[in-house]
Amino acid sequence: MADLPRIARIYVAAVLAAAVVGGLAGVLLAPPRLQLAPEAFVLLVAATIAQQFKVKSPKHQSYYTTTIFFFAAALLLRPGYVIAIIIAAHAAELLRVRYRWYIQAFNVANFILCSMAAGAIFAAGESGNSLGGGRAVFFAALAGVVFVILNHFLTALVIMWARGVPIARAGTMDWENLGTDLALMSVGALGCMLWLANPWLVPLCLGPLFLIYRSLLVPTLQEEARTDPKTELANMKHWNQVAQAEVERARRFDRPLSVALADLDLLRDINNRHGHLLGDQMIRRVAEAIRTALREYDLPARFGGDEFAVLMPETSLAEAMTVAERIRLGVEAIELRLSDGTPVKASVSIGVALFPSHGRGASDLLAAADRAVYQAKALGRNRVAAFADVDGERLRPVRVPSSARREVG
């Protein structure tokens, strides 16, 4: 955990300690019953299999249907069995995917604490009463809500302290994430209720489980269809669709819009001297520098092998030149190291075009920006140029006044 900030290390250690204490207390207060071993084995197998099928969302968050089985185990089984199921499922995943030890340990501890809380709530509802009908549904739903909120809150805190971001930006407390896990919990609660009523009805939960898993895949598949796999920027098909819509909006409301085209200088030399693997690494680093330099509403895309297009709605030429210069400086700061320590640097030549002065359609703006890229390269590379008409035999550079070099938010 040495790579974590001090407060994050303390928090992770506290969660691990709380899980150990809570788990031991649960086992001592409610020892496992041998007659529940068959149910525990079925849930262990199901959870272990489900843990191998992770769905990663376009926002780089992961979903597992495993929580259905963890939650069902928390309601149906004694704590010892629940802890064994959680540890076994994560241990099987660890054999396939090597995480840092404290990441997997925190996940295990998190689920143990959530399961203990959910199980205690459901057991409290059952205490001294025959838990059936509406009462059972109420306490199962309450246990599910507590499970989800506690799980997401504990995760949000570790993201906040490990990455230094506000808890609101951690993502785990968003309604989209909470709603997804609440839906998973509802399937787990349904399975639990069916098991208590008639175990032969439990396979009916497989249909909703399959549909939920498929629905989780849909956003990922959609994102893959419009994303360049090497850089994770938009591909040109998606970029063109968005650009055409933004051009129409700019035309309808008479708003500014700019397009930039960035060409990585001398990529062929990098490939020839150091190999295509280093060249690919450089392309990915350039893509990251472009993404970092842009604003939230700008859309970057990989245009070709070493070219990148940027759509900048609501952006004048002076503002677009400022953003392009920020990209240029970001790429100029990239430095890869060879095995012998030799540095490999990068630079880009960027052309900028403005709607409607330099083109009235997305393709026209790209062509104008491409012409400006050649102008930038003709002037010596590693610079930004705006589109300029031919003046005799020469291309006239467009200079940006110093007042336009302010930071664009």
Q: Which two tokens stand for residue 74?
A: 């928390």
What's the rounded Cα separation, in Å, for the pair 64 and 56?
9
Average pLDDT over residues 203-214: 76
295 closest CA partner among 263, 251, 256, 327:
327
Q: Which two tokens stand for residue 103?
A: 């990441």
pLDDT of residue 403: 37
- Residue 162 makes CB contacts below 8 A (sequence gap 6+) with 4, 5, 8
| pLDDT above 90 (res 298) | yes
Give the pLDDT band of residue 369 (cuts 50, 70, 90): very high
| pLDDT above 80 (res 228) | yes
- Phi/psi for 299 (5° steps) reads -120, 110
What's the rounded Cα separation, in Å, for the pair 361 and 246?
10
pLDDT of residue 315: 94
| pLDDT above 50 (res 401) | no
| pLDDT above 70 (res 181) | yes
3-class SS of residue 370: helix
pLDDT of residue 1: 67
Name residue, tokens 């430095």.
335
Q: C-alpha angle 73/98/114, rounded to 5°? A: 25
CB 383 within 8 A of CB 349: yes
What are the extents of the domains in the chain? 6-225, 236-405
Give the pLDDT band of residue 399 (cuts 50, 70, 90): very low
pLDDT of residue 320: 93
218: how many CB neighbours lie within 10 A of its CB? Answer: 10
Return the top range by mean pLDDT from 58-67, 181-190, 219-228, 253-262.
Answer: 253-262
Give the pLDDT band of residue 56 (cuts 50, 70, 90): low
CB 70 within 8 A of CB 17: no
3-class SS of residue 335: strand
| pLDDT above 60 (res 57) | no
Q: Which fold does the domain 236-405 belong to in CATH?
A: Alpha-Beta Plaits (3.30.70)
- Look at 213 and 325; give whichever has higher pLDDT: 325
135-149, 288-302, 308-322, 365-379: the lowest-pLDDT one: 135-149
CB 261 within 8 A of CB 350: yes
pLDDT of residue 19: 93
- Look at 22 and 208; give whichever has higher pLDDT: 22
Compute the mean pLDDT over every residue in the chain, rounded to the nearest whole number.
Answer: 83
What's the rounded Cα separation, in Å, for the pair 401 and 52?
56
What's the rounded Cα separation, in Å, for the pair 233 and 267?
19
Average pLDDT over residues 381-397: 65
pLDDT of residue 405: 37
Please, which residues bridge with residue 390 across strands? 395
pLDDT of residue 223: 65
pLDDT of residue 171: 67
Average pLDDT over residues 377-394: 74
pLDDT of residue 406: 35
Element (H, E) at 89: helix 79-96
| pLDDT above 80 (res 393) | no
187-196, 203-212, 326-335, 374-383: the lowest-pLDDT one: 203-212
Task: Indicate the CATH number for domain 6-225.
Answer: 1.10.1760.20
pLDDT of residue 132: 57
Give the pLDDT band of residue 62 (cuts 50, 70, 90): low
| pLDDT above 60 (res 395) | no
Q: Which two tokens stand for residue 153?
A: 């809150």
What's the rounded Cα separation, in Å, for the pair 114 and 19?
9
pLDDT of residue 397: 43
What's the rounded Cα separation, in Å, for the pair 311 and 297?
9
